[in-house]
């Protein structure tokens, strides 16, 4: 494996990509530590030490790599961008014009990306306003007396909101830069970085509870990671036979390959979708302000509290829904069947064209059920182990659930991408 690392760095093209990605990550972390203008850094530091706020702010904090509670420039993290892209993708099903744009190919896709960016900015403004308002009212850190924004006139607050929004725009750009010129998917890699940033602190917190607990958690985490890897690697291979063709005097094709359908074809995206959708009600109720209305109590007691059965089941169902949804969006069976037909390929025993696409749909919908159940179970699992971690901290718990799925998914993706780049140059990769 070490030699693979060396050859990865020896390839000039790949080295540039890796270093570029690392550079973006470094800049990202710089932005995540610099406090916004007008925020009193010492006060925030003091408040952070005795923070005991539960629930969704913690989850957001996990997803923003601890930047949120520090009210840093990049406080909002990649979350608004993810939420925006979910909403746009949802809308492609609902709004005919969006669907048309999606079918239009390159230019339509560009238009959709543009909409996503605008929506990101809008969401960022909304979220930044909410967070700044909460910080100003002193709600961000449960019961902390020190004023986080000492000089809180309207101008300062607006400056903070604008800074955070601009920060989100830069993060969005970073994500796209990584996807384009670096290694891996930028959006999920930045998400991964946020989670990785929380691991040392969380690990230390668990270590404080005693060595035995820590060991148990570590073994448990290893088991979860191994099982996630196991399912991620599971493939249903649909045999595809290519017809022989004569071009000039030479014979082409006639090979038999397979179309790999992963058991978890959707990856971690459904989990991210579901969790970001679940925090919306809390965000709304916080934005409206606590006036003790019935629906706010309901949200606080059932949706935010992570050990309530409503939260668990809604989360689980959302994940299953989004798995199917995302697969329908990303894996277009008709397109695949058409492509296969175009290049003279067919599945043995099944006619090209519509029967092929029907067969693909059949297999995909069957294979996705266990995949989605697995995603749901892994994501919900830590909610049942509240005794090991603190209650309310379980989502935050980086060795279980959402975080592990993201970590393993992104890790595998990125390493595989490096691997395929190495393979192009006939180097031996990491994965023998």
Residue numbers at the binding site for another protein (CB under 8 A): 1, 22, 25-26, 29-30, 33-35, 41-42, 45, 65, 192-193, 196-197, 199-200, 222, 225-226, 229-230, 233-237, 263, 362-363, 366-367, 369-370, 407-408, 411-412, 414-415, 430-432
Q: Is the dihedral of CA 382, 388, 393, 396 positive or negative?
A: negative
| Residue among 192 and 316 whose Cβ is closer to another protein | 192
Contacts of 75 (CB under 8 A, 6+ apart): 36, 64, 67, 68, 128, 131, 164, 167
Q: How far is the CB of 22 from another protein (least distance, A)?
A: 7
CA separation, residue 49 to residues 34, 42, 45, 76, 115 (Å): 18, 11, 7, 21, 40
| Residue among 35 and 55 whose Cβ is closer to another protein | 35
Distance CA(53)–CA(249), nearest Å, equals 74
Which three-class secondary structure state does DSSP give residue 351? coil
| Residue among 161 and 263 whose Cβ is closer to another protein | 263
Q: How far is the CB of 265 from another protein (least distance, A)?
A: 12
Q: How far is the CB of 108 from another protein (least distance, A)?
A: 34
Contacts of 326 (CB under 8 A, 6+ apart): 89, 266, 269, 270, 273
Q: How far is the CB of 234 from another protein (least distance, A)?
A: 5
Share of the chain residues as helix, strand and coil, in percent rounded to the nearest 5: 70, 5, 25
Is residue 270 within 8 A of residue 286, CB to CB? The reply is no
| Residue among 192 and 325 whose Cβ is closer to another protein | 192
| Residue among 10 and 201 whose Cβ is closer to another protein | 201
Q: How far is the CB of 309 from another protein (least distance, A)?
A: 23
Q: How far is the CB of 191 from another protein (least distance, A)?
A: 12
Q: How far is the CB of 423 from another protein (least distance, A)?
A: 15
| Residue among 110 and 260 whose Cβ is closer to another protein | 260
Q: How far is the CB of 354 from another protein (least distance, A)?
A: 13
| Residue among 201 and 293 whose Cβ is closer to another protein | 201
The secondary element (H helix, E strand) that includes residue 168 is helix 154-181
What pairs with residue 242 in β-bridges?
Answer: 345
| Residue among 80 and 184 whose Cβ is closer to another protein | 184
How many other CB atoms are found less than 10 A from the CB of residue 148? 25
Backbone angles phi, psi at 72, to 5 degrees: -85, 180
CA separation, residue 34 to residues 21, 73, 75, 77 (Å): 20, 6, 10, 13
| Residue among 234 and 352 whose Cβ is closer to another protein | 234
How many other CB atoms are found less than 10 A from the CB of residue 253? 14
How many other CB atoms are found less than 10 A from the CB of residue 104? 13
Q: How far is the CB of 125 from another protein (least distance, A)?
A: 25
């Amino acid at each position: 494996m070490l030699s693979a690392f060396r050859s990865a760095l020896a390839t000039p093209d790949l080295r540039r990509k890796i270093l570029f990605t690392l550079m973006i990550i470094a800049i990202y972390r710089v932005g995540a530590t610099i406090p916004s203008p007008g925020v009193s850094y010492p006060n925030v530091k003091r408040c952070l030490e005795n923070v005991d706020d539960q629930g969704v702010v913690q989850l957001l904090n996990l997803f923003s790599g601890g930047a949120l509670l520090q009210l840093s420039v990049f406080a909002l993290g990649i979350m608004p961008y993810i939420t925006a892209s979910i909403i746009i993708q949802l809308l492609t099903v609902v709004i005919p014009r969006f669907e048309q744009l999606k079918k239009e190919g390159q230019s339509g896709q560009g238009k959709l990306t543009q909409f996503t960016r605008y929506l990101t900015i809008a969401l960022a403004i909304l979220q930044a306003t909410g967070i700044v308002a909460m910080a100003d009212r002193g709600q961000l850190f449960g019961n902390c007396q020190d004023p986080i924004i000492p000089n809180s006139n309207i101008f300062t607050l607006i400056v903070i909101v604008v800074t955070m929004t601009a920060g989100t725009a830069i993060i969005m750009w970073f994500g796209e830069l990584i996807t384009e010129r670096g290694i891996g998917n930028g959006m999920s890699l930045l998400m991964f970085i946020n989670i990785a940033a929380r691991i040392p602190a969380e690990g230390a917190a668990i270590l404080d509870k005693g060595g035995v607990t820590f060991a148990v958690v570590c073994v448990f985490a290893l088991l979860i990671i191994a099982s996630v890897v196991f399912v991620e690697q599971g493939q249903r291979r649909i045999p595809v036979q290519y017809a022989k063709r004569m071009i000039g005097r030479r014979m082409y094709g006639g090979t038999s390959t397979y179309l790999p359908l992963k058991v978890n074809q959707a990856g971690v995206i459904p989990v991210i979708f579901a969790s970001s959708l679940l925090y919306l009600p809390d965000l709304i109720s916080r934005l409206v302000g606590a006036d003790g209305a019935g629906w706010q109590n309901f949200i606080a007691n059932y949706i935010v509290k992570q050990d309530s059965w409503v939260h668990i089941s809604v989360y689980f169902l959302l994940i299953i829904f989004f798995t199917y949804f995302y697969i329908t969006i990303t894996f277009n069976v008709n397109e695949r069947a058409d492509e296969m037909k175009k290049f003279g390929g067919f599945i043995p025993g099944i006619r090209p064209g519509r029967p092929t696409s029907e067969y693909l749909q059949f297999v995909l919908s069957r294979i996705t059920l266990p995949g989605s159940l697995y995603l749901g179970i892994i994501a919900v699992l830590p909610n049942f182990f509240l005794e090991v971690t603190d209650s309310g901290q379980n989502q935050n718990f980086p060795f279980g659930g959402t975080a592990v799925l993201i970590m393993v998914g992104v890790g595998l993706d990125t390493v595989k991408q490096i691997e395929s780049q190495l393979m192009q140059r006939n180097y031996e990769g990491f994965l023998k």
